[in-house]
């Protein structure tokens, strides 16, 4: 029996580990985070991030919002 955990639930393509760029429009500014670890579909391009990464991104966005930045560019490694 094959393991379907690597199949994209949207299109059936293969999911692989990779990186993506996350952006958030705050209305008064923009946050861009590069090199975000994610699971990517090789067919439709859908992206998934894990809960720990999402929490890190939320902290970066909240920090930029609290400092009133118009543009924040960061990288996760």
Task: Provide the residue ranges of all domains of the chain, joining segments of one domain with +.
Answer: 19-75
Q: How far apart are CA 47 and CA 72, in angstroms?
A: 22
- 32 contact partners, CB below 8 Å, separation of at least 6: 21, 22, 23, 71, 72, 73, 74
With a cut of 60, say whether residue 3 has pLDDT above it.
no
Q: Where is pLDDT greater, at 1 or 33? A: 33
Question: pTM value?
Answer: 0.82
- Cα–Cα dist 66/50, whole Å: 24
* Strand bridging mode 71-75 / 30-41: parallel
Cβ count within 10 A of residue 33: 21
């Amino acid at each position: 029996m094959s393991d379907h955990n690597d199949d994209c639930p949207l299109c059936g393509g293969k999911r692989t580990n990779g990186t993506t760029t996350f952006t958030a429009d705050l209305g008064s500014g923009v946050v861009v985070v590069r090199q975000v670890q994610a699971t990517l579909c090789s067919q439709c391009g859908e992206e998934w991030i894990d809960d720990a990464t999402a929490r890190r991104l939320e902290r970066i966005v909240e920090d930029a919002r609290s400092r009133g930045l118009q543009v924040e560019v960061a990288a996760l490694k």
